[in-house]
């Protein structure tokens, strides 16, 4: 990890697997890095059980070395985004398939004790001292067991890091001021991209998905914060392509031209889940309300705010 600079704003993203940092919030990450924010990515697992989603990489030699290759891909993406990064060191749980679904593999991230999974993240939060933390909602963004556990661990660590009675062996308490959930692949955004493709005379890769997608107004209403970051979509795309085992350059995502992405949906979207600073919703900045309290950590007495 990089040494903490007291004057800098600090942002921590907690993700389940390598590539999640590039598919969720990567453009806003790059924007904040360019603005001088210190951004740290925490990757809970090594992605060892992830499927190879790029047909060009679906080879026996790749599969035999998938753990090391995914670490190398993460290293490339980290450099592209300009972030620091730590691995929590847990083992990918895989995607359980079947009816009924099989039990989780022994010792995997989603199957271990929550306290055991939370401890190393508390240590990192107290070391890096983020002002803002992002993770997934209670459904994991999608119900992969590692994403759901990532949510649980992030919420537990967010609260425990600021409590001096929890895990005192990990140093002085530090309370992050805001906790956000990513909302990257919601229907409103997908619909906008679909309509923009049709308006330009292109075939949309989202037609089938939208036809099967049940509208959920309550979910759409959860979005509180839209960060304008379209200028950094090219950085996002380069970081995505660094994860070559996971991202098919000929797949649906890259069939939508960059300028369509930028025009149709120029923001990355979040839900403010907890705030210990005063906020006015909706927001366009993850650090709204924090900038006046840049060096404020509240280990003993937490300020009021939206929870």
296 — pLDDT class (breaks 50, 70, 90) = low
Instruction: Please report whether residue 121 resides in a domain.
Output: yes
Taking the C-alpha atoms of residue 237 and residue 146, their distance in angstroms, rounded to an integer, is 24
Q: What is the mean pLDDT of residues 225-254?
A: 96
Q: How many CB atoms lie within 10 A of CB 272?
A: 24
**What pLDDT was estimated at residue 273?**
98
Residue of 149, 133, 144, 143 lying closest to 44 (CA atoms): 149
- Does residue 3 lie in a domain region? no
CA-atom Rg of the chain in angstroms: 19
d(CA 48, CA 14): 18
In a domain, 52, yes or no: yes
Could you tell me the pLDDT band of residue 103, with boundaries at 50, 70 and 90? confident
237 within a domain of the structure (yes/no): no
pLDDT score of 301 more than 50: no
Q: What is the pLDDT of residues 66-86, one digit of tens each?
A: 999 999 999 999 999 999 999
CB atoms closer than 10 angstroms to residue 244: 21
**C-alpha of 53 from chain center:** 19
Number of structural domains (the chain) is 1
What rounded mean pLDDT belongs to the chain?
91
What integer pLDDT is reported at residue 142 of this predicted model?
85
Does the pLDDT of residue 258 top 90, yes or no?
yes
Q: Let me know if residue 26 belongs to a domain.
A: yes
Ranking 105-114, 121-130, 156-165, 295-304 by mean pLDDT, the lowest is 295-304
- Residue ranges of E strands in 55-157: 84-90, 132-135
* pLDDT, tens only, 168-204: 999 999 999 999 999 998 999 999 999 999 999 999 9
Lowest mean pLDDT across 58-62, 126-130, 294-298: 294-298
- Please give the pLDDT value at position 7: 62
Residue 41, beta-bridge partner list:
13, 85
What sign has the CA pseudo-torsion 210, 212, 218, 219?
negative
With CA atoms as reference, report the closest residue to 85 among 249, 237, 287, 242. Answer: 242
pTM of the model as a whole: 0.92
| Tokens describing residue 225 | 């914060």
Per-residue pLDDT tens over the stretch 31-68: 999 999 999 999 999 999 988 889 989 999 998 899 99
Tell me the residue range of the domain where 47 lies: 10-184+268-293
Q: Encode pLDDT of 88-100 as tens digits.
A: 999 999 988 777 7
In a domain, 5, yes or no: no
In a domain, 192, yes or no: no
Residue 201 lies in a domain: no
Alpha-carbon distance values, 140 to 22, 76, 127, 131, 136 (Å):
16, 25, 25, 22, 5
Q: CATH number for the domain including 35?
A: 3.40.50.10320
Is the pLDDT assigned to residue 3 strictly greater than 90?
A: no
For the chain, percent of residues with pLDDT exceeding 90: 79
């Amino acid at each position: 990890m990089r040494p903490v600079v007291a004057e800098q704003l600090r942002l921590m993203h907690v993700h389940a697997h390598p590539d999640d940092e590039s598919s969720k919030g990567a453009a806003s990450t790059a924007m904040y890095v360019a603005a001088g924010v210190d951004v740290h990515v925490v990757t809970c697992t090594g992605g060892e059980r992830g499927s190879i989603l790029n047909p060009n990489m679906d080879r026996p030699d790749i599969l035999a070395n998938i753990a090391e290759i995914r670490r190398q891909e993460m290293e490339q993406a980290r450099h592209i985004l300009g972030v620091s990064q730590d691995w929590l060191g847990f083992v990918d749980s895989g995607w359980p398939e079947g009816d009924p679904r099989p039990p989780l593999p022994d010792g995997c991230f989603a199957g271990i004790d929550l306290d055991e999974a939370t401890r190393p993240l508390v240590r990192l939060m107290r070391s890096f001292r983020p002002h803002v933390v992002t993770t997934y909602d209670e459904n994991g963004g999608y119900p992969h067991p590692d994403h759901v556990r990532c949510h649980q661990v992030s919420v537990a660590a967010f609260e425990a890091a600021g409590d001096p009675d929890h895990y005192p062996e990990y140093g002085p308490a530090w309370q992050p001021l805001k906790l956000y959930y990513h909302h990257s692949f919601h229907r409103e955004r997908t619909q906008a991209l679909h309509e923009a493709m049709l308006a330009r005379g292109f075939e949309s890769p989202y037609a089938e998905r939208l036809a099967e997608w049940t509208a959920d107004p309550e979910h759409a209403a959860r979005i509180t914060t839209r960060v304008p970051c379209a200028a950094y979509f090219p950085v996002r795309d380069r970081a995505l392509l660094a994860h070559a085992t996971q991202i098919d350059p000929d797949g649906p995502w890259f069939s939508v031209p960059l300028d369509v992405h930028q025009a149709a949906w120029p923001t990355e979207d979040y839900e403010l889940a907890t705030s210990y600073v005063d906020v006015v919703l909706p927001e366009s900045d993850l650090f709204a309300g924090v900038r006046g309290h840049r060096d404020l950590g509240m280990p003993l007495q937490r300020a009021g705010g939206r929870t």
